[in-house]
Every structure is written in structure tokens, then in C-alpha cells.
């Protein structure tokens, strides 16, 4: 006996009328939960980046004060004729006295902070502006 004849007396199966709305609501809930987690992580990363930028700035300021960078800049304001006559030496001295480790760390932290904010904005836009149909 074929299976078509066994189930012939049953009405054809149809999904419940509200199934699509339930599925779409569940997808929306999962997306919002994921977006909340991502935005929380982005907020934490942004706060950490900003706090490290403040720390890095204070370290940079103290290293600038310890180096001869400010003294050479003051020399530029006080005796510009000496600076212009020895311009190559002054420029090389300024470049040598810049604390590059603090500058590089600050730039890396700024890059990561901007990347975190860009990813958060991208995920937010993707979550809100994609169609669920």
C-alpha cells in the first residue's frame, strides 16, 4: 500500500499563520542580543583606549620634559639666528629627542580605539538596516 493512500484522508499540513512572525521576532531578538554584547564590548574597549591615551599623554609629557626637546624649541624662540645657521643639527637634535616609544604606543592605541568604534558603527548599521524577509 503506497504512502499516498495511507495519508489520503488527512488534510494537507499548513504551517501556523503566525509562524513567520514568530521566526522573524526570534531573529530580531537574537540580533539585538548580539548587538548589545558587541556594543558593550565596544564601549569597554573605547573606555580602555581613552584611559590609556590619557596615561600615554602624561607619560609623553613627562618624557618630553626630561628630554632636550623643549630646550631646543625655546632656543628657536630666543635665538632664531643661531637655529637657522645650524638648522640641520637642530632638526636632527629635535628628531633624536622625541620620545618615539610613547608616540608609537599612543598612535597604536588611537588606531585600535578608532577601529573599535568603526566596527561598532558597522555592526549597528548592519543590524538595523538589513531586511528580514
For the entire predicted model, the pTM comes to: 0.59
Whether 2 contacts 91, CB under 8 Å: no
Q: What is the pLDDT of residue 29?
A: 92
Calpha distance 20→107 (Å, rounded): 49
How does DSSP classify residue 13? P
Q: What is the pLDDT of residue 28?
A: 87
Task: Please write the tens of the pLDDT for every residue from 97-106.
Answer: 888 888 888 8
Give the position of cell 509562524: 19
Contacts for 51 with CB less than 8 Å, ≥ 6 apart: none
Q: What is the pLDDT of residue 97?
A: 83
Q: What is the pLDDT of residue 10?
A: 80
Q: What is the pLDDT of residue 25?
A: 93
Q: What is the pLDDT of residue 71?
A: 83
Name the stretches of the chain with pLDDT < 50. 133
User: Please, what's the b/e burial string for 51-60 (b: 16 or more CB within 10 A of its CB; e: otherwise)?
Assistant: ebbeebeeeb
Q: What is the pLDDT of residue 38?
A: 86
Amino acid at each position: 500500500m503506497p504512502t499516498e493512500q495511507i495519508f489520503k484522508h488527512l488534510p494537507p499540513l499548513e504551517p501556523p499563520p503566525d509562524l513567520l512572525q514568530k521566526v522573524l521576532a526570534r531573529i530580531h531578538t537574537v540580533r539585538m542580543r548580539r548587538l548589545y554584547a558587541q556594543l558593550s564590548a565596544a564601549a569597554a574597549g573605547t573606555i580602555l583606549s581613552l584611559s590609556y591615551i590619557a596615561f600615554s599623554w602624561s607619560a609623553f609629557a613627562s618624557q618630553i620634559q626630561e628630554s632636550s626637546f623643549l630646550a631646543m624649541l625655546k632656543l628657536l624662540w630666543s635665538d632664531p639666528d643661531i637655529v637657522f645657521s645650524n638648522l640641520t643639527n637642530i632638526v636632527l637634535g629635535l628628531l633624536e629627542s622625541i620620545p618615539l616609544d610613547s608616540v608609537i604606543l599612543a598612535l597604536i592605541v588611537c588606531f585600535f580605539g578608532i577601529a573599535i568604534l568603526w566596527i561598532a558603527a558597522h555592526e549597528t548599521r548592519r543590524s538595523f538596516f538589513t531586511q528580514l524577509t
